[in-house]
Structure formats: C-alpha cells, structure tokens
Amino acid sequence: MNGFYENTGFVNKRNRKQILILDVDDIGGKTYLGAGTEFNIPLFEPLIIDSLSEVYLDNFISYNSNISNDTANSAFVLKINEFNMNTNVASASGTTQNAIFKSLVIPNEHSNVTNNQSMVIQKAKKFNYVCDVNPRKISSISGKITNLKGGPMFHGSGTSDKYTYALTGIDSGNITGGTGLFPIEVGAQIISITGGGASSSSISGTFLATHFSTSTTLHFSSNSEITITKGGNTTNIIFTMSNPSVTYQISNGSSLNLNLLLITNPGRFIAEFSINSRE
C-alpha cells in the first residue's frame, strides 16, 4: 500500500533519511515568539520528500523562553503547517484543548530564570515520532509556537514584548520601594524605566521572576530596546509599575553598582527533525 504514495519521478535510493533544522528568532524586532504569532521561514534549499516518510523530532533547544513557573508554561506547543500532525486531545480545559490540537507538545525544562541569556536543552532524546508525510516539495516552513493556553512562550506574558533582559551587578540591598512592596512578583507589569542612561522611558514590560530588595539581578522583558549605562552613573534607575502604580528604585552613584551590566539577547528556538523514508 505504501507504494501508492511513491513519487513516479526520480527517487534517490541512497538517501533514506533527511535532516531538517528549523531556526526561529525575534532578531530585528520580529514578534514570532514574543507574541506567539505565526512564522513563515523560507528554506535555504527546497526539501524534496520523494516517498512516504516518517517525521521525528530529534532535539529542541530554546533561548530566553518563559520559565515553567505555572501550568500554562510547563510545555511548548509547536505547530508546523507543512506536517500533517494528527494529534488528538482530551483536556478538561477548553483553552488547552484548542491550543494543542494537531500540534506537538514539548516539555519545558527551563525551570530557573538564572538560565535566561543561555541555551536550554528542552528535548535531547532522539526519535520522538511527529507524523507521516506524503511525497512533496517544501520551500518554506510555517507555523507557530505557544504555551499550553495558546499564549506567548517567550519574553513573558505580554504579546508585544520582544526583548528579555538581565540587569546584573546591583549591590545587594540597593533596590528600594514602599513598605510592603517586596517581593516584586513574577508577572508584575512595567510601564516605564528611567534613569541610569535608560534609552526608553515609555515602554511596556514584565518582570520574569520574583525579586527581593536584596536581589543583585533583575530579570524582565520589554516591547522596545533599552540601554542602561554601566556602574558609576549618578542617576538612579526607576521602574514604574502599573496595578498598583508603584515605583522601585536602584540607587546609583560614583561608588555604587560598579559592576552594573544590562544583558539582552533575542528569543530563539532550534528544532531538529529527521525525515525517514518508510521503504
């Protein structure tokens, strides 16, 4: 029966396995990942599948994805339009059911925000079956990646955030706020960052972890690119929040935060698929 799907044209008898690398990022202000919207990436060369084949996910790595701090972010949901994923689902949550139908679920191993700004291996075990694919020529790969609720899986929960930051080198105890304002909760919304040479005062953003007044690193995302001057700047850095409208201040000065450094990298994921002929 498999022969019914065979390509009647040229068939490469020697090559029964092909490797497909899918590399998606938010470089250049794209929002494929931060907004959880559909991507469409052209292949360097067309992928020609000349016989009925099986697709497997060999490995999956991410950069600056959300941490698995709640059930929604406990797994990635990857949909590839060119792959006929016949995934069915029975879920008590209608939102989850709609998000993962005909998609691939990949457990999120990014459990600690200190792994931001570095690569996280999400899936290293070989040969996870994805689907069968009939003979065809593929020139581009399209789809989207979200969390289990269909929301963003990178740069926090805001659908306009494109950048993930780590502001490190803060002197311990140098973050101040009003009484009862600590800890800063994960998911707290930022509406402006001023001082310290910050390049943008009107932004939207999200704190990506819970922080205390003694924290020496702050992890947050934003919808626009910012810069903050290294230690020795005399202007205090102020984060203005919404709901409630409060501020947090990092005191600066000639002898404070001498190792201050703002680190940023785009969101990114790389998935490696193997496509094996069923002959």
Q: How confident is the model at residue 228 (pLDDT cuts 50, 70, 90)?
A: confident
Domain assignment present for 164: no
Do 112 and 174 have their domain in common? no
Do 96 and 192 have their domain in common? no
Domain assignment present for 56: yes
User: Which range, of 45-54, 82-91, 197-206, 232-241, averages the lowest pLDDT?
Assistant: 197-206
Do 12 and 138 have their domain in common? yes
Do 6 and 133 have their domain in common? yes
Whether residue 164 has pLDDT greater than 70: yes
Plot region of 232 (φ>0 → left; ψ -120 to 50 → alpha; else → beta): left
Residue 214, domain extent: 170-259
Dist CA 64 CA 72 (whole Å): 16
- Section 48-69 average pLDDT: 92
What's the domain count of the chain? 2
- pLDDT for position 3: 52
Q: Which residues pair with 107 in a beta bridge?
A: 75
Domain assignment present for 161: no
Whether residue 10 has pLDDT greater than 50: no
Q: Which residues pair with 18 in a beta bridge?
A: 275
Helix (H) / strand (E) containing 221: strand 217-222
Domain assignment present for 163: no
- Residues 191-194: contacts with CB under 8 Å, at least 24 apart: 191/240, 191/241, 191/242, 192/238, 192/239, 192/240, 193/222, 193/226, 193/228, 193/237, 193/238, 193/239, 193/240, 194/237, 194/238, 194/240
Do 73 and 144 have their domain in common? yes
Do 44 and 107 have their domain in common? yes
Report which of 134, 215, 234, 119 is spatially closest to residue 168, judged by C-alpha positions: 215
- Section 244-265 average pLDDT: 87
Domain assignment present for 160: no
Do 147 and 116 have their domain in common? yes
- Section 215-230 average pLDDT: 86
Do 43 and 14 have their domain in common? yes
Do 10 and 114 have their domain in common? yes
